Structure 1
Amino acid sequence: MQLGSRWQVGQPPHPGVPGRLHPAIAAAERRLDDASQQAPTGGSWTLTWLEGRPRVELIDAAGTVRADIGVDATGRVTERVPPAAGGSGADPAAGDATGVRPAADDHDDDDDDDWLS
């Protein structure tokens, strides 16, 4: 059994968060900093486990999901684009309407089961 956890935006990831997610978490926080011209306040990250794979969500003080990062079935780190961050939840740059894209440092696009995440 793997337990989830929660930590505040701007703090180091909880020790239970796999290291492979840390760069994507830092990138998401930088995007929020750049978009608002200040550090995000009142938000928190939540770590959950789905089918044994980690997933972290950043939820701001208003309850809006600002980032959703996980590991797919092939072990690739992906980021789901939340509607608040880009409209419909889809990422046009991903070439489809799933709203799932590889994390910034992972460009392998051989995954055919994004619907699971």
Structure 2
Amino acid sequence: MAAQLLTIEVTRLDAGRARLRLSGELDFDTAPQLVAAAAELRRDGHQELLFDLSAVSLCDSSGLSALLTARHGGPGAVRLAGVGPQLRQLLDRTGLTELLAVEHAIDGAARRAG
């Protein structure tokens, strides 16, 4: 069975903010794609990044590392929205829930981001 690709849809919002909607698997093979997209947004002056993970079917340790790299790649906040129960449990167990500012519902996060 072939690995599911990662798709990243970027929306550049006002005031240095951007939303990245991810779909597919965030793993060893696809994490570099996320790191590159976040780095490009940071270079373009986007300080706050909102990751919509509602369509992510899998996130492994490489995916977590990519999210942390995005967090440390610039001065602004990184927020996660649309986090499923398995990923939320992983974030809670690793202590990353607060560091990555996990939102409770994508609708609330989208309203604040847009």
Which TM-score bucket, shorter chain as reference? under 0.3
The structure richer in helix per residue is 2
Task: Please identify the structure whose Cα radius of gyration is greater.
Answer: 1
**Larger relative contact order (C-alpha < 8 A, sep ≥ 6)?**
2
- The two structures have a TM-score, normalised by structure 1, of 0.27
